[in-house]
Amino acid sequence: MSEQDFPGWHGTTIIGVRKGGKVVIAGDGQVSVGPTVMKGTARKVRRLKPGGMDVVAGFAGSTADAFTLLERLEAKLENTPGQLARAAVELAKDWRTDKYLQKLEAMLIVTDGTDLFVVTGAGDVLEPEHDVTAIGSGGNFALAAGRALMDSDKDAEEIARAAMAIAADICVYTNGNLTVDSLEGTA
């Protein structure tokens, strides 16, 4: 699919950082359609509460597609209470094999405060090996900045905010209007 067919695909940055028993997910607020900024205050980080469980999710890609995936993830979590990894794998399986879901253009970063995963339409459920992950058009910038800051005295939220500021300075599809949410780990 070309960018002409789907001009909004490259329009966001989401980062997940796990440090000091806490996981933070931060996302910018810019919604772009091609070269035009349509909105600067979108919330691309959401808290889900399926069956009383707290999960924070951030999404990049089509908003409608991401909300479809978030609804599916909530349903999977209700069927597998307290098992984010299993729910994420089940979502990825459905996303990869279901003819309707295969057309969805989005990616997710999800956490329950302990686990941190990237879920993709290619059937991937990836856990970052350096406790930092990022998606979207500015994802590589945020990822590099976040990894560089992991050995600093900064906590998870400070790292996420600093990495997002760097991404916003470099990526034209990312702004500095952040939504940040976090969960404490259970371990």
Each residue of 113-138: pLDDT tens digit? 999 999 987 888 999 999 999 999 99
The pLDDT value recorded for residue 69 is 86
CB 73 within 8 A of CB 91: yes
| pLDDT score recorded for residue 95 | 82
Q: What is the DSSP letter of 161?
A: H
Identify the pLDDT of residue 9. Answer: 43
Give pLDDT tens digits for 44-60: 999 999 878 899 999 98
Does the pTM surpass 0.85? The reply is yes
More confident residue, 65 or 167: 167
Span 19-40, pLDDT tens digits: 999 999 999 999 888 888 999 9
- 13-173 folds as Glutamine Phosphoribosylpyrophosphate, subunit 1, domain 1 (3.60.20)
Residues marked as catalytic: 12
**Domain residue ranges of the chain, discontinuous segments joined by +:** 13-173
The Cα–Cα gap between 122 and 125 comes to 9
State how far the Cα of 168 lies from the Cα of 147, in Å rounded to an integer.
Answer: 16
- Please tell me the chain's helix, strand, coil percentages from 3-state DSSP, rounded to the nearest 5: 35, 30, 35
